[in-house]
Chains A and B, each alone.
Chain A
Amino acid sequence: SQQGEEDPQALSIQEGENATMNCSYKTSINNLQWYRQNSGRGLVHLILIRSNEREKHSGRLRVTLDTSKKSSSLLITASRAADTASYFCATDAVETSGSRLTFGEGTQLTVNP
């Protein structure tokens, strides 16, 4: 079963608006990562947040982590058409001794010009 589950499955917004995607997971983790995948391409790493961190920023990206709720959110501010992509969260469960990442099913973000 998938460790991480993204919500919503699809999101359509206008350029300039903010986009928020959520990820929930089931077991204790060491860290959580977010990746972007443009259509037909490989995944690209966006940001990593450790289990002892609550918030992290990178440019227009803001990630939060709530380990008590086993959830994370990715906020993209002032979205652009180029942000159109699928976004995935990935977790490394403590129970696997951090040996592997488990990806969620992703959120398809469409930013309309």
Chain B
Amino acid sequence: NAGVTQTPKFQVLKTGQSMTLQCAQDMNHEYMSWYRQDPGMGLRLIHYSVGAGITDQGEVPNGYNVSRSTTEDFPLRLLSAAPSQTSVYFCASSYGPLAEQFFGPGTRLTVL
């Protein structure tokens, strides 16, 4: 099993550009989530999904969109990138929010 995969590993955007961060898991997990991690800080929840077709906002959802059309994939879209979105983004999956979370390797995003 590949576990949780994220692409790309690194990305540089200009202010105002849009892009999609990809996340996929092959463990048949219902629960998936996106976090951002800023230097010296913990993870902050952006959006999460409890199953295909169901998404909800986390702590810092502004500027991001998500959708969940399949169990395996949970892409994160940046609509109009801003320098404040410079961060490392982690995708995670699990059997449920109260269970062990499996994290992807992260995407390091820089917005100029």
Contact = CB atoms under 8 A, between A and B. Distances in A.
A106 B97 contact: no
Given A100-B33, A105-B40, A105-B41, A43 B58 contact: no
Contacts, number: 60
A44 B90 CA distance: 12
B50 interface: yes
A98 B42 contact: no
Interface residues of A, number: 25
Interface stretch (B11-19, B79-87, B103-111): B103-111
Q: How big is chain B's contact interface, by range?
A: 20 to 34
B100 A43 contact: no
Nearest to A1: B59
Nearest to A105: B42
B42 A101 contact: no
A92 B43 contact: no
B95 interface: no
Contacts of A64: none
7 contacts: A33-B101, A92-B97, A100-B48, A101-B33, A101-B101, A105-B41, A106-B42
Interface of B: 4, 33, 35, 40-45, 48, 50, 56, 58-59, 90, 92, 96-106
Interface of A: 2, 4, 30-31, 33, 35, 40-45, 48, 88, 90, 92, 98-106
